[in-house]
A and B are shown apart, each in its own frame.
Chain A
Amino acid sequence: MPINYYIILAVSLFSIGVAGVLTRRNAIIIFMCVELMLNAVNLLLVAFSKMHYTAAAIQNPASAVGTDGQLFVFFIMVVAAAEVSVGLAIIVMMYRNIHSVDVNFLNRLKH
């Protein structure tokens, strides 16, 4: 399958994520959109990594090109998991305090 398909898919996902973050006010949805953006990047990493690895292996079986990109995905997943746990905790606290998960209520920093 050509790499372009992956790229288009990833860009679409990423754009959806960005649009979501920009337009939605519900903290949980914003959160999900952030995850969407992260996973779009993951998808790209995996796709490019696979592509480079295959291309190099065909030309020269002993080439040193590894699958570092795919390894990175795990890092991102770990960070995202950590982020989610902290983020959800914040959202819970937020809900407890203001009985809402609307981020527009959180504008106290302005003052």
Chain B
Amino acid sequence: MTLLLLLFIPLAGGITTFFLKGDKQVKSWSLLIALASLAVMGYNLYAWNELPKTYSVQWLPLLGSSFALKMDGTSALLSLLTGLSYPIIFIATLRNEYASVNRFYGLMLLAQAGILGVFLAADALVFYFFWELALIPVYFLCSQWGGEKRIAATFKFFIYTFLGSLFMLVGILYMYYQTPDLSFSLEAFYDLRLSAAQQSWLFWLLFAAFAIKMPVFPFHTWQPDAYEQSPTAVTMVLSALMVKMGLFAVLRWLLPIFPLANVQYAGIVIGLSIAGMIYASILAIQQDDLKRLIAYSSIAHIGLMSASLFIPNNSALQGAIIQFFCHGVNVLGMWIVVDLIEKQTGTRKMSELGGLAQKSPTLVILLVIVSLANIALPLTNAFIGEFLMFNGLFQYNVWIAAAGGIAIILSAVYTLRMIQSVFYGTTNGVTEKFINIAWNEAVGLSIIVVAIFMMGLYPEPVFRLTADSVTAILGFIK
């Protein structure tokens, strides 16, 4: 039942938000909804052993589809990330002004429902439904509240992801007709014994959708534009949560269904991902806009994760799953900082900034910690994931691991360059205006910093939570 509640709260909350009036009411209501959803998730983890992990009710019996939800360790972790991110986003952007604020927050909450649905769905039709449900609010959010070139960017984003979704739909329908009793359920898909030939093209149909969402090189060009043009709160949702949809989908909807195709194509996917990782890192060094820099840095991190998902060993998979969470938290921190810099100085260009360290030491400390997590320094959360992933990659192929390692160096180059050009040096006309970090942003960042160190020092609970899904996937692959 808690699973249904998890979906229902943001859905109902989002719809009610549309009818509210007044900035204050809308913001406090949506924060309340976000906190409620976090509380349910917290309870879910607290009573992890007692609560049922699945939920199913008849939905479209004629089509053989039921409204089935399933929570394993990984989806619990990602739901927790979603539950945690929303309050942080709402708190950190509390003072942002939006035109027709009720619609903005309503759409944000609808997107949350969609994202959670993707993480929980155990029925292909339900999965597809939520996959699109998550996309549509974000489309409106970007196209209405975005920056100057929002229409072009949103259009690109929408076409890209929608095209991917269509490929996926074709794949799902084909598999549906292959099931013995025409069913969309996850178990039926898992039980499919597809031939190698079928697997090899179905794999690419589904992977296309997931790869675009993640995004993996060379399907990534929508991302920097979309991140740049979206309002920052939406960018946070996009980069912290929506890209995880693609990664998670690989884990639940791709690896177990196409074991033969995985073996066949893992090399290509890993090669693409690692190449994309280095490629994005090099491009990140070139960027002047903070949002684009973080976008490319994010692509690089995602590249490592998507490569690790296809490596059939415990270390890589476990590392990738942990990194789902850590990347989400860390990138959120980066966006909060970018948002507050843009709000106060009116620019995101690194060449125009500088000297903020004098203005706000607190901000610098918080950002430096988040940046260090971004470059996976030990004792920050990202190190655990990256260490495990590189270890897995290394056991898979030494040279690929070594090549991927170049990105470790490059990440230090661009991250430190960002810190330096934004914070160090002397103030100029633009940064003179900067006042200080506001309490709400400080709260948001502090939660993130605490999470960074907690997971960096003691990742044990996450290992315990996700161990079952790792073993399950390894079982499917072997």
In the complex, A touching B (Cβ < 8 A): no
- The residues of B with any CB-CB pair to A shorter than 8 Å are none
